[in-house]
Structure 1
Amino acid sequence: MSNRIYLCLAHMSGKEQSFIKEAFDTNWVVPLGPNVNGFEADLKEFVTASIDELETKEVVALSAGTAAVHLALIACGVKPGDEVIVQSFTFCASSHPITYLGAKPVFVDSEMDTWNMDPELLEVAIKDRIEKTGKKPKAIVPVYLYGMPAKIDEIIAVAEKYDIPVIEDAAEGFGSKYNGQMCG
């Protein structure tokens, strides 16, 4: 089939190719080394530049946004049989880490302004899960789809009301800002 519509096309300039060549030439092809260290330092500066209280935070580069969500779910204590709320309009990688852990994704629809998780429907879903299962979801994963930040202040307000951690899947929101702060 010659007529394909690609999900995304890789953009490679000479600079990226030189970093790849350097990694192979110096045998730093595993997920660490001077290029990764430099990327993490640059990313930390980029993300924390405008927020003083973030200066003490660290940045860790992973192989994919899916890996980041997976580790965050583990850090939140998600186990087999737990439920995790995630928005329905997203890339499949947002829910895969939930199922990797044996947990069940509970999908919440989007609102019209950002196309991301609807904070009102989020609260409806939390109440529904508590009523039907007797327990609250273990985590909430809003996604910044197509670079558009979710209504995170409203989502966090709902999450705090029920004491549920929020994991921001900001992989597609890289470089976007919400209320003057870099996403993620």
Structure 2
Amino acid sequence: MNKRIYLCLAHMSGKEQMYIKEAFDTNWVVPLGPNVNGFEKDLEEFVGEDKHVVALSAGTAAVHLALLACGVKPGDEVLVQSFTFCASSHPITYLGATPVFVDSEVDTWNMDPALLEEAIKDRIEKTGKTPKAIVPVALYGMPYKVDEIMAVADRYGIPVIEDAAEGFGSRYDGRMLGTFGKYGVLS
């Protein structure tokens, strides 16, 4: 069979094409403009929790900037979920840091809180350093074990960067995913 099967097809019609044309016609492609500013404002209202939204080119870029904001540098280690899309871990390597993969638990297929704590203890014992960040993922829109992961992170003083790209619009305990950690990434 020579037929290609695409992961996803770009489909733009109606309003998408209108807004793209408007951006070019008004020369608001770079720097940003009223449509992006409006999108950020609408997303802030949607997410709630008095969170500030910054639109970037991709979720990967957002994880990258969040890691930088957490002070991740070459030689550091970052704990990241093992069962996820590569965009959760690639930004770690962009910075010269090392991803330390934490396996999943059976209920949500997301990061296992017990294995997370084991990994933290292991890295402290072996390197003498605490990992710089934790990146749990809301795989397939399923919330990770938020309370347990946040409790482990708090115990060790490690910031959490929530990769909620697949969990856009999902809630846990009444709150939008992406609002629990120091930084949240939607895509």
**Normalized against structure 1, the TM-score is what?**
0.92
The one-letter code of the counterpart of 1:45 is: E
Match of 1:117 in 2: 111
Task: Give the Cα–Cα distance (whole angstroms) in 2 for the partners of residues 37 and 68 of structure 1.
Answer: 17
Which string of whole-angstrom CA distances, capped at 9 and with x for unpartnered residues, describes residues 78-134 of structure 1? 010000000111111111110011000000011111111111110111111111111
Aligned to 1:3: 3
Is structure 2 residue 16 aligned with structure 1 residue 16? yes
How far, CA to CA, are the matches of 1:105 and 1:96 in structure 2? 8
1:38-84 per-residue CA deviation (whole Å, 9 max, x = no partner) reads: 10011011010xxxxx23x3211111111111111111110100000
In the TM superposition, what is the alpha-carbon distance from 1:23 to its structure 2 partner?
A: 0.7
Residue identity (%): 84
**Counterpart pick for 2:85 among 78, 85, 91:** 91
Aligned positions of 1:31-180 closer than 5 A:
32-48=32-48, 54-55=49-50, 57-180=51-174
Question: How large is the RMSD of aligned CA atoms in angstroms?
Answer: 1.3
Moved over 6 A (4+): none
What letter is aligned with 2:42?
D
Distance 1:26 1:148 in 2: 40
List alignment gaps of at least 5 residues for structure 2: 179-187
Superposed displacement of residue 5, structure 1: 2.9
Distance 1:44 1:128 in 2: 38
C-alpha change, 1:87 and 1:24, in structure 2 (3 Å) is: same
**Uncovered stretches (5+) of structure 1, i.e. residues with no partner:** 49-53
Relative to structure 1, is the Cα distance of residues 107 and 16 closer, same or farther in structure 2, using a 3 angstrom cutoff?
A: same
